[in-house]
Amino acid sequence: MEKVFHAACPLNCWDSCGFKVTVIDGKVTKVEGDPDHPITKGKICGRGRMLEKRVNSGERLLYPLKKIDGDFIRVSWEQALDEIALKLKEYKENFGTTSVLHSHDYANGGLLTNLDSRFFNCYGGVTELTGSLCWGAGIEAQNWDFGDAYSHAPGDLLNSKNIVIWGRNVARTNMHLYEQLQKAKKSGARLFVIDPIYNATAKIADQYISIKPGLDGLLAAGVMKEMTRMGLEDKEFIEMHSVGYQDLQVLLDSVSLEYISSVTEVPIDTITHLAKVYAQRPVATMFGLGMQRYANGGNTIRLIDALVAMSGNIGIAGGGANYASKQVGQSFHTEAITLPNRKKESRNFTMMKQAEGILTATEPEVKMAIVTCGNPLTQLPDTNKAKRAFSSLETLVVVDQYMTDTAEMADYVLPVTAAFETEDVYYSSMYHHYVNHGPKLVEPPGEARTDEWIWSQLANRLGFGEDFAFTREEYLNLGLSSLNKEDITIESLRETKFAELPVDSIPWSDRKFKTPSGKYEFTSTSAVKAGFDGKITLTLPNESKWTNPNLAEKYPFSLLTIHPLRSNHSQHYHLLGNEPEVKVEIAEDIAEARSLTDGDQAVVWNDRGKITGRVSLLKKAHPGTINIDEGIWGKFGGSVNQLTSDLESDNRQGSTLYDCLVNIEKVTI
């Protein structure tokens, strides 16, 4: 019998779409968009539609596996859980609970994925990961400048006169913003795209500005210089609602426009033009995350924030420094689920330095890691170091749906439920302000179990089973308890399918910022408290011809590793039909310098590693730029992270994945 249900996309994505899912005889047969969803309105991307394949694939993990003499053997849940619990007990007794590392990312946007933290907190507190490979540098930057990272509601874009897409690959990664851009353009807004790659969003822009990777902060400084010269800054905002503007002016005076133009490789005329654009309020700046994955990433975002602020585009309809929507996640009572007070010990590694941490930590050494909602062997920078680290562990447990690069290395692999196999509520702190309900629609295959069931089984064996003696409905109501005054409960969400969260659609309109001074901070007191100089600086990427000329001579090209069109990170490659291959996209000047053409095989390398793939020319890309989409598995020729660096960003909270110089050469067979 065929039946259509509402559901929600669980993938880590800006859009958090509402779904209509067809089920026939207990099997998901089709995933489509829910036309009733107020933001996503029935349109979804291929990654969402492909969830049908992801749940039904014959490659799903069906049983707990244990590695014996290098081979995986099927074992019972009883055996796997008993043995893992025994290890957790022994490590706790012999070395303390922080000898266990919880390695994770954010692959599933469900509220109850947070139950992993509840488990590790009740166990006594493990080594945890801080910061983020994804957006950490920018989040910290906005914490310093505004006190938090808040975006305008999507519909507010229709109030903008000018829209600047600054390093966001909208047409590929954020399809409903793309739709919104087309609407805004129709109603007269002008669109600017700043990116080293002439992408599909750049194609619909009124002006595309090509920039050398990693130098957007400097470009923003140039625009601020020109605004100051022309007297275009918003003096009232600066005087009444900010601190530290003098410091910013001193910084801007320390560089010439000619220097900025020569380093960013953006013509002076374009910089002057952008200054005029920023003065024609309201201007919405939509930040992407690519440009902050550099050693200077925090300062890059602070400089663009400063531009948005000094031009008077904060807290006004149609404006905004739109980077993240942290208000969304903050609407939930997450602590009721994670129980942070139960921790007795703690130790942190940054997400970027988890491999380094595993290899070098003492007192205690890391003995065991449990991986949830992440695939570090593909997604972490410096894959070769990650391999050394994860293979040095005494015990590696991976909880996943597929035999990923990380699962391949595990001692125990535990099969977990996928989309539509368990009830949850889904949200993304990236774009819109709605929470979506996702019911359980089908049974999981084989012996796959929910993450929650796995935690409760281990908790029972470790003596804190009472902390997990709740139903899913009870956990969901705990997490939603902060929303009861809005009449949002799990019962109501089952009926309404989605609900608007109580968030400000125009953040900071009251000019009350969450910084220590209550004002917008061009110079940050939170940064000083964290041990940094609170002033913004004009730093450059770590790997560039200015910062490291010798390296740049050996490795003259910038390697970007942006997000793939048809896969969410590593999650869809193996389901794409044709065997995926590494595509090496190169700017036209590189093709000429290395005599490369479409279809050639080329090797791309640096001191950390090398990767081989098929060349494809990138029309109009910034000179010297190469891109290899991230996420490709080891067995298909990846991971491209063999080449990337595990250095942290300037404020230590972000990655430097795109701050990467390489060389390239044709492979002749």
Ligand X SMILES: Nc1nc2c(c(=O)[nH]1)N[C@H]1C(S)=C(S)[C@@H](COP(=O)(O)OP(=O)(O)OC[C@H]3O[C@@H](n4cnc5c(=O)[nH]c(N)nc54)[C@H](O)[C@@H]3O)O[C@H]1N2
The whole-angstrom distance between residue 630's C-alpha and the CA centroid of its chain comes to 12
Give the CA diameter of the chain: 73
Q: DSSP letters along 315-361, please?
A: SSTT--EES--HHHHHTS-HHHHH-GGG-S--EEEESTTHHHHHHH-
Distance CA 646, CA 657 (A): 7
- Out of Mo ion, ligand X, ligand SF4, none, what residue 372 binds, judged by CB under 5 to 8 A for its kind, is ligand X
Residue 9 binds Mo ion (CB under 5 A): no
Say which residue the tokens 């602070």 belong to. Answer: 302
Contacted entry of Mo ion, ligand SF4, ligand X, none for residue 564, CB cut-off 5 to 8 Å set by kind:
ligand X
Which one of 8, 55, 65, 289 is in contact with ligand X (CB under 6 A)?
A: 289
Binding site partner of 261, from ligand X, ligand SF4, Mo ion, none, Cβ cut-off 5-8 A by kind: none
Token duo for residue 474: 């009870």
Extract the tokens encoding 140.
């910290």
- Output the residue with the shortest Cβ distance to ligand SF4: 48
Is 321 within 8 Å of 142 (Cβ atoms)? yes
Coarse DSSP helix, strand, coil percentages of the chain, rounded to the nearest 5 percent: 35, 20, 45
Q: By C-beta, is 65 or 134 nearer to Mo ion? A: 134
210 contacts ligand X (rule: CB under 6 A): no
CB atoms within 10 A of CB 583: 15
Pairing status of strand 434-438 against strand 424-426: antiparallel
- Per the CB < 8 A criterion, the answer to whether 415 and 446 are in contact is yes
- Minimal distance in Å, beta carbon 17 to ligand SF4? 3
Helix axes 216-229, 245-253, angle to 10 degrees: 100
User: In the bound complex, what is the minimum distance in angstroms from residue 567's beta carbon to Mo ion?
Assistant: 13
Task: Find the shortest distance in angstroms from Cβ 19 to ligand X.
Answer: 16
603 phi and psi, to 5 degrees? Answer: -110, 135
Residue with smaller CB distance to Mo ion, 134 or 662: 134
Least CB distance to ligand X at residue 69 (A): 25
Position among 7, 266, 399, 425 found at the interface with ligand X (CB under 6 A): 399
538 interacts with ligand X by CB under 6 A: no
103 near ligand X (CB under 6 A): no
The minimum distance between CB 141 and Mo ion, in angstroms, equals 16
Query: Which of Mo ion, ligand X, ligand SF4, none interacts with 272 (beta carbon under 5 to 8 A by kind)?
Result: none
290 binds, options ligand SF4, Mo ion, ligand X, none, Cβ within 5 to 8 A by partner type: ligand X
Q: How far is the CB of 564 from ligand SF4 (least distance, A)?
A: 12
Task: Name the strands in the sheet holding 207-209, side by side, starting at the edge strand that comes first in the sequence.
Answer: 207-209, 190-194, 162-166, 283-287, 321-322
Instruction: State in angstroms the smallest separation of the CB of 287 from Mo ion.
Output: 13
3-state secondary structure 415-454: EECCCCCCCEEECCCCCCCEEEEECCCCCCCCCCECHHHH
| 453-467: burial string, b at 16+ Cβ within 10 Å, e else | bbbbbbbebbebeeb
Smallest separation, CB 563 to Mo ion (Å) = 8
Q: Which is nearer to ligand X, 84 or 107 (CB)?
A: 107
Residues 299-358 that bind Mo ion (CB under 5 A): none
- 373 makes contact with Mo ion (CB under 5 A): no
| Contact pick of 50, 164, 197, 386 for ligand X (by CB under 6 A) | 197
Spatial separation of the C-alpha atoms in residues 268 and 72, rounded to whole Å: 61
CB of 366 to ligand X, least distance (A): 19
Which residues are at the interface with ligand SF4 (CB under 6 A)? Answer: 9, 11, 13, 15-17, 44-45, 47-48, 175, 568
Select the binding partner of residue 386 from Mo ion, ligand X, ligand SF4, none (C-beta < 5 to 8 A, by kind): none
Among 134, 215, 223, 301, binds Mo ion (CB under 5 A): 134
Q: Which is nearer to ligand SF4, 224 or 289 (CB)?
A: 289
Q: Which does 175 bind (CB under 5 to 8 A by kind): ligand X, Mo ion, ligand SF4, none?
A: ligand SF4
CA-to-CA distance for 367 and 574, rounded, in angstroms? Answer: 31
Least distance in Å: CB of 60 to ligand X? 10
Q: Which of 340, 416, 451, 376 is nearest to 111 (CA)?
A: 451
Q: Which of 400, 521, 543, 646 binds ligand X (CB under 6 A)?
A: 400
Using the rule CB under 6 A, is 40 a contact of ligand X?
A: no
- The alpha carbon torsion through 361, 364, 365, 368 (nearest 10 deg) reads -120
Least distance in Å: CB of 640 to ligand X? 5
Residue 64 in tokens: 């707990």
In terms of C-beta density within 10 A (0-12 exposed, 13-18 middle, 19 or more buried), how is residue 488 classed? buried
For residue 364, whether the previous peptide bond is cis, meaning omega lies within 30 degrees of 0, is yes
CA distance linking residue 478 with residue 472, whole number of Å: 10
Contact 284, 278 (CB under 8 A): no
Return the residue of 156, 451, 646, 650 that touches ligand X, per CB under 6 A. Answer: 451
Residue 16: which of Mo ion, ligand SF4, ligand X, none does it interact with, CB under 5 to 8 A by kind? ligand SF4
Residue 234 or 424 with smaller CB distance to ligand X: 424
What residue ranges bind Mo ion (CB under 5 A)? 134
What residue ranges bind ligand X (CB under 6 A)? 12-14, 47, 105-108, 113, 133-134, 166-169, 172-173, 194-197, 199, 211, 213-214, 216, 288-291, 372-375, 379, 399-402, 404, 416, 451, 560-565, 568-571, 630-631, 640-641, 644, 657-658
